[in-house]
Structure 1
Amino acid sequence: MDDRTPHHPDVRTIPLQQVLEALVDPVRRSIVRQLREADADIACGSFDIAVSKSTATHHFRILREAGLIRQHYVGTSRMNTLRDAEFAEAFPGLLDAVVDAERNAPAAARRPARA
């Protein structure tokens, strides 16, 4: 294992509340949707999200700590994978519902709220 690879919690130990809090943010839902629709792992800088690098890093950390994504390095790129099968076992149907809702939401509802 690469020393740069962060800890990934066991999905079965994650409380539902933490998962729901991770999925409440539209940027994080977009990341989950893009990973679900991708044919391969996606590098952190390759997502279609309009946030700064530091904000994106925060969103990826929240998703990883909630057990939703797995991150690993390929060269200098931090790659992201949706932990779909593990998640379906721990929370049946949850990601299907979230991704379907995200796909069908009006564009304005998918944008983060401005402070």
Structure 2
Amino acid sequence: MSIDEGGPVNVQHYTYRVTWSQADGEYVATVAEFPSLSWLDEDQADALRGLVQLVGDVVVDMESSGETVPEPLADRRYSGHFNVRVPESLHRELAVAAAEQGVSLNRLVSDRLAHA
């Protein structure tokens, strides 16, 4: 369920990424909102399709179990500031990077500023 609207989550709105994995010799699809999920396939499009289906199955299972389903990053509202004003698009990009790394936005920005 979407936290704000009470309706079903659209799994197409999650933040997917498909990259080549040299170690696996296949494409790997990942999703920022579910960092423990991935899908490997020889075909780039099939890797994405496989992961979207898997995420859909996980969301259905979570909803039926009464678990809180992560809200898609794309559907969240961003204020555009966190003590420093930045464009909303940069805020979203940083939020996605933090989610993919499993750290807080504050931690990601602090680390990036420390190493700039």
Normalising by structure 1, we get a TM-score of 0.32
Whichever structure has more helix as a proportion of its residues is 1
Please identify the structure whose Cα radius of gyration is greater.
2
Normalising by structure 2, we get a TM-score of 0.31
